[in-house]
Structures are given as C-alpha cells and as structure tokens.
Amino acid sequence: MAGASPIVLAEDLTRHYRVARKEETLLGTLRHFFRRQYHTIRAVEGVSFRIHPGEVVGFLGPNGAGKTTTLKMLTGLVHPTRGRALVAGHVPQRREKAFLKKITLVMGNKQQLIWDLPAMDSFRLNAAIYEIPEEAFRKRVGELSEMLGLERKLHQPVRKLSLGERMKAELLAALLHRPEVLFLDEPTLGLDVNAQVAVREFIQEYNRRYGATVLLTSHYMADITALCPRVLVIHQGRLLYDGALEGLLDRFAPYREVGLTLKHPLPREAFLPFGEVRELEGREVRLLVPRERLTERVAEILKRLPVEDLEVRDPPLEEVIARVFKSPMEAL
C-alpha cells in the first residue's frame, strides 16, 4: 500500500473565511452599514495527508476543529484558500461528473431522503441522477438493503422510520452509485447503541466487500476503535497527528492505567505515592502511572498495598483525545 498512489491527497490545504465584525449597539449597526470591518477565521490551516485505496481512516477533533470544512474541500463543496486536493484523480472544486460518481458525502445531521415518500422513491431518483441501469439498480438495492437489514422498510414513508432506520436508508441512498471514496461525517450521530453497532458493521463490511476508501469523523470513540486502524487528529484547523491508532496512545498518553482490586477499602491518600487516582469506589481503584516508572510503581503497590488483583492497560482513548485537545501545544 505504501507504494500505491493515494486516492485522497491533501497538500497544505487551507481555508480562511472573511467575516464582518459588528457591534451590538445601534451606533455599531450604523457603522456596520456604512463602513464594515472584517476579521479572518482560519478554519483549516495547512493540512496535509495522503489516504491510499481501501484505507479506513478516522478524522478526530472537537467541534470547530475544521473536520467538516476539510471534508467539504475534499468533496468540492468549499474551495480552498490555499493548497490543493486531489480525490480519485480529480480536483474536487471542479465538481466534474466523473468525480461525483466516484465519491459520496454522508452527514449525520443532514438528510437527502424525501420525508413523506418511501425511501425507494428517493433511491430511484438517485439512480436516475447517477444513470444507474434498472438491472444494476435492483441488484444494488437488494445487496445493500440485505446488508443493512432494511428489506421490509423500503416502501414505508421515511417519516415512519426510526432514526436508526433512516440513517441506514441514507447510507443506502448514498452508496447506490458504488462510490470509491466515502466521506462520512458523524454517521452514527444521535443513534442508540444497537443502531450504532449496526452502522459500524455495515461500513466495515462495505469496505471489505467493495474495497472502498473511507474517511470517517465521529465523536463516538467506539466508531473509531472498531473501524479505523489509522487516525488523523485536527485541532484549531491544524493537523496534530497522523498515524496508527495505537501510536496515538504512545505519543499522547505518557502513562499507563493500573486497575486494582483490594482485599479491603483504603482512603484515597493511600494511593497518592503511586500515581494519579482517577477512580476510587470501594475496593476498586484506577490509577494513572507514568510509563517510564511503571515497573517500579507496580512492585511498590504489590509490596505495600493489600492487592487481590491487578491489571495494567492503556487508558481509554476518550481520555487521551480529551488531553490532546486540552493542551494541544504540549502534545506537539
């Protein structure tokens, strides 16, 4: 894969917005009308990465970090202020017909299905737009609806579907033209746990079956850990990390988590010499211990505390990401 040409290329991708500044007073309104003042919002600043065919890559960042703006530049909805993008051999901002047939963008907070009509009617509309022959259309609807468990829901009005069923139908509609590159922006947003699992499993199976490339944003770490061997981390428009999911822990979490089950409860003060106490409930304790001192601290814990069971593990990914966003300059 390392020698293959990237199917998604971003080089120094940058997007700035010029926004009018307005005071809330009447005088400010008058000034705004006759002489406007502007300031620049740097939504994305010099982002570069490459994604190879068949990869599933997670795109992480807090709200306002620049994830959706980056996806919009990669799909041609927004033009970059500086830098360039190349997706499936095309310049996205040209929005060429051949390009649009190779990509799809699914946003968890947007819908393309017609609310009062059955999902099948929207599918037929998409088939006409993408010039999908009738035989291919029927075959693809059959395959995708089976993978998504939607066979009995296609002829119901969209408004009567559950949120999870609507999201599945949105995915089906977005994938009818068999795109090579999937840009998925929060596809499990607002779904219950069972629906989230179903959508994850579908994305995983679709990638395996058709070799599609996936760039996925999500606030649910379970989505990322289940689907994405590689992650991009963006904060305040800048790329902080590009690499393996496991490497994120090595780089940004210089500590390990030690879980203890004690023979009897102890006060919090008893654990302070060994590490940072993250949880203490009865006989169960969770400590954060610096990686470089892990061996000696574990030895001290076993020697000085009434330990019944001990487990060493990496801290939850959610905590690592939260620390990265809390102090990104330190993380660099």
Question: DSSP secondary-structure letter at 28?
Answer: H
Residue 330, domain member (yes or no): no
Q: What is the pLDDT of residue 32?
A: 65
Report the distance separating Cα 294 and Cα 315, nearest Å.
Answer: 14
Closest CA to 200 of 219, 182, 185, 187: 187
> Where is the domain boundary, 219, 249, 279?
249
Q: Are 92 and 218 part of one and the same domain? A: yes
Q: Are 18 and 76 part of one and the same domain? A: yes
Tally of structural domains, the chain: 2
| Amino acid identity, position 138 | R
Q: Are 127 and 263 part of one and the same domain? A: no
Q: What is the pLDDT of residue 52?
A: 97
Q: What is the pLDDT of residue 328?
A: 55
Residue 196, domain member (yes or no): yes
Q: Are 113 and 214 part of one and the same domain? A: yes
Report the distance separating Cα 17 and Cα 293, nearest Å.
Answer: 47
CATH code at position 178: 3.40.50.300
CATH code at position 297: 3.30.70.980
Q: Are 187 and 307 part of one and the same domain? A: no
Report the distance separating Cα 68 and Cα 74, nearest Å.
Answer: 10
Q: What is the pLDDT of residue 121?
A: 96
| pLDDT one-digit tens code per residue, 103-126 | 999 988 788 899 999 999 999 999
Residue 319, domain member (yes or no): no
Count CB atoms within 10 A of the CB of residue 190: 12
Distances (CA, A) of 154 to 104, 107, 311: 21, 21, 48
Q: Are 231 and 184 part of one and the same domain? A: yes
Residue 98, domain member (yes or no): yes
Residue 326, domain member (yes or no): no
| pLDDT one-digit tens code per residue, 13-55 | 999 998 877 677 777 666 766 777 778 899 999 999 999 999 9
Q: Which residue spans within 213-271 are E strands per DSSP?
A: 213-217, 230-235, 238-244, 255-262
Q: Are strands 213-217 and 56-60 parallel, antiparallel or unpaired?
A: parallel
Domain containing 220: what range?
A: 8-249
Q: Are 40 and 77 part of one and the same domain? A: yes
Q: What is the pLDDT of residue 332?
A: 44
Map residue 86 onto helix, strand or coil: strand
Q: What is the pLDDT of residue 3?
A: 56
Q: Are 52 and 135 part of one and the same domain? A: yes
Q: How many residues are recorded in the chain?
A: 332
Q: Are 225 and 283 part of one and the same domain? A: no
Below-70 pLDDT ranges, the chain: 1-3, 22, 28-30, 32-33, 326-332
Q: What is the pLDDT of residue 69?
A: 95
